[in-house]
Structure 1
Amino acid sequence: MTKWDVIVIGGGAAGLSAAQMLGRARRRTLVLDTGSPRNRFADHMHGVLGNDGTRPADLVARGREELERYGVVLREAAVTRVDETEREVVVTLDDGSAEHARALVIATGISDELPPIPGIADHWGSGVLHCPYCHGWEVRDRNLGVLMVSPLQAHQAELVRQWSDDVVVFGTVEPAVRARLHARGVEIEETPVVEVLGDEQVTGVRLEDGRTVPMDALFTMGTPRPHDAFVAHLGLERSDTPVGSFLTVDPAGRTSSSRIWATGNVVAPMATVPVAMGAGSTTGAAVNWALVEEDAQEAVMASPRQFWNGRYAAQMWSGKPNHTLVDLVADLPPGRVLDIGCGEGADVIWLAQHGWEAVGVDISDNAVARAAEHAADAGVAARFVASEDLPAADVGGPFDLVTASFFHSPVDFDRIGILRRASELVASGGRLLVISHAAMPSWAPEGHDHPFPSPEAELTELALDDTAWTVERVETRTRPATAPDGTASELDDAVILLRREAD
């Protein structure tokens, strides 16, 4: 089964633009299209920089050719249903087959539901027009009409006057708009239009009272019907507008689903070809970025070592040992010590400076290399080991003290199992010291709460043989800290200090 990075439904200006960005980003992309773009009724496009006067079909054909060089696959097919799981979207086609992808772009456009007046559908896109910017220049200075089918057309009625002095508005308009139209010499005819006349070209309109008004072109609007029924069952958020209900999207086209985007006329019915192309390109880039983030997160989650090497790619060294460790270890007689998750070595260096034969072990090669450099700079003898399998087979042992300070990770790893294995390296009469975060700092952003286990819960989870260990401390300790804004604060640490019974 092929799994695509992205499936684009719709091969018009928006869909092909999105696919182009994705193909250039080396995403495995499939475009599904039925070959029925909204502007197929028009002979030429206008207002499209570099393509003014180009046939819509020619633009699509060139776009398809361009996509082939980037490995984008185009297929003629209709989509009947889209389903999604946590990891993918499943697109069912009209032949019953299904395609799987990590993300979906809906660029299926709309249909214009035209007024039920004879002649309108016959001349739609040629003599019956909807966008003055797209077609006004071609009918400039001619006899133009505006058929009002909605109060929303007030803007269109005033706009058409820019292209001709001879304009008739058919329908009822509110007084303020009527005054503005009359002031610019626009005639208003309230008798209903019952037919658009003309064979190959529009020649006029017939009114309900039998009169005929000569006309070279007629502007009106249809009701936009978005082609998105195949996701209706998903319950995606929608926005109700004066012209209909459309999928709600953010500025880059993302819907309320994290894996589904929508772009072009299917969400913006008034968008012209260049606007749809720009929106499609924006959406394509946004989808690629979302997948880049997902790729990175999956790589991180798949390898704790990669994650921590990334965290330690830049120096995190503070030069200060853990305050709680210093306080608890200061009165212990020096011996051999192993620090699990040593990072850049601050605790190990402090221990070595105070007479301990110190070894540090960490999963990050970057951290261990930097720790060794810091130890050399400090002039202390300390050994550091990098190992993905903590506590590492070559750390030696037994140790008079095994420590693990703030041994937490956003990447899943067997923390308790590591601590249990580390406890086996404690010498007879030696100690195991585990220091953990007991709570988030007071300056943590709202909504970033994270539950940390109590020291008692940690001790229970460790499940060490209570006949072999004596509990010396299980407590929460408060230590001074400095908040990011430089003010004095405090942090709470959970402490477990155990002593192995002497043989």
Structure 2
Amino acid sequence: MYEAIIIGGGPAGLQAALTLGRMHRRTVLLDSGEYRNATVAHAHNLLGHDGESPADLRRRGRAELAAYASVEVRDATATAVAADPHGVRVEVAGETLRAGHLVLATGLADELPPVPGLAEHWGDLVANCPFCHGHEFAGRPVAILNASPHAQMLRGMLAPVASEVFVLDPARVTRVETADDGLRLVLDDASTLSVAGAFIGPAPRQRAPFAEDLGLALQESGAVRVDPFGRTSVERVFAVGDMAHADHFPGPMATLAAAIAAGQLAAVAIVQTLAAPR
């Protein structure tokens, strides 16, 4: 029996495993190989790793885990989870794993606006986070394809970065084409707009069904409701990374640094629980 099972091999899950490993806690991490930033070539706004690819960050993290004998990493997809008075159960590859604690780090999946050509540029010239991708378009025009009130906030954030910021309802864009120095947006009146890149507001959803299966309390955003240490409404179950957020945040914090911090805090809480006098 493990002391912790971690589902998800992104930065939040890897950091949770590292922290547990350093405290010699029996841990298994299950990595399905599916990641929200799989199409991103270069990650930014992470101190010491600015511009490094997410894939390289994951490889580096897994290599570091190899130094800790108490941590096992499996390339496997969890298919079912359950909690009982004795802990948690996870089904994977026909096997039932048991542990005292479960860390969900399965992340979110993005549903993009149904604009032809948009998905082909997702994670490169089409992005969501101005902190992660805005600087790369410095001094050039960008478009915000977003009809929500948040579009004006994005406009203000990108104003010091881009030469010009265009805000468009994505319903006006009939297709996205590759241009010499960025993108060409074809609009519903047959006109075109050339920009270096575009920012959209994708509709995120839970990548895995486990939050629903366990009956975890959710925020209005659809993320799992947690306390500052990642504890969910179900005892022994934690949720970390962009799939969860505490009440004092308006929504999921989709940054690598926040995900790493969340994974570490959840692992600290588990270690302290295990170490507490009985």
Cα deviation, 1:280-311, whole Å, max 9, x if unaligned, reads 11111111111222xx31xxxxxxxxxxxxxx
The aligned counterpart of 1:446 is none
TM superposition shift of 1:158: 2.0
Give the corresponding residue for 2:33: 35
Task: Look up the equivalent residue of 1:165 and give its one-letter code.
Answer: S
Which secondary structure state, in structure 1, belongs to the residue aligned with residue 38 of structure 2? helix
Number of the residue aligned with 2:106: 108
Identity value in percent: 39
Q: Structure 1: which 5+ residue stretches go unaligned?
A: 172-189, 298-503
Change (3 A) 1:12 1:191: closer
The answer on 1:252 being equivalent to 2:229 is: yes
TM-score w.r.t. the length of structure 2 is 0.93
Alignment correspondent of 1:169: 167
Partner of 1:145 in structure 2?
143
State the Cα RMSD in Å: 1.7
Q: 1:215 to 1:14 in 2, by over 3 A?
A: same
1:34 to 1:200, Cα distance in 2 relative to 1, 3 A:
farther
8 Å contact 1:191–1:209 — kept in the other structure?
Answer: no
Q: Distance in 1 between matches of 2:171 and 2:216?
A: 43
Q: In the alignment, does 2:207 pair up with 1:227? A: yes
Q: What is aligned with 2:127?
A: 129
- Pick 1 or 2: higher relative contact order, CA cutoff 8 A, min separation 6: 2
C-alpha distance in structure 2 between counterparts of 1:162 and 1:128, whole Å: 19
Match for residue 115 of structure 2?
117
Q: CA deviation at 1:201?
A: 6.6
Q: Write the mapping of 1:274-313 to structure 2, written as runs, cut at 5 A.
A: 274-293=257-276, 296-297=277-278
Aligned to 1:194: 174
Q: How do 1:65-84 residues align onto structure 2 when only pairs under 5 Å count?
A: 65-71=63-69, 72-84=71-83
- Residues matched between the structures, number: 271
Question: How far 1:228 moved relative to its partner?
Answer: 3.9
The letter for the 1-side match of 2:174 is V
Q: Deviations over 1:419-464 (max 9, x none)?
A: xxxxxxxxxxxxxxxxxxxxxxxxxxxxxxxxxxxxxxxxxxxxxx
Q: Aligned residue for 2:95?
A: 97
Structure 2 CA distance for aligned equivalents of residues 152 and 98 of structure 1: 44
Letter in 1 for 2:223: F
| Structure 1 SS opposite 2:124 | coil
Which amino acid counterpart does residue 267 of structure 2 have in structure 1? G
Structure 2: state its 5+ residue gaps: 246-251
1:227/1:200 CA distance change after superposition, 3 Å: farther
| Higher-Rg member (1/2) | 1
Q: How far does the alpha carbon of each residue in 1:48-86 deviate from its partner, in whole angstroms, 9 at most, with x for none?
A: 101111111111001001111112111011112111111
Q: CA deviation at 1:200?
A: 8.6
Partner of 2:254: 271
1:380 is matched with which residue? none
Q: Does 2:1 match 1:18?
A: no
Pairing partner for 1:49 from 28, 47, 52 = 47
Shift of 1:191: 7.7
- In the other structure, the counterpart of 1:346 is none
**CA 1:88–1:201 in 2, change beyond 3 Å: closer, same or farther?**
farther
Question: How far off is 1:235 after superposition?
Answer: 1.8
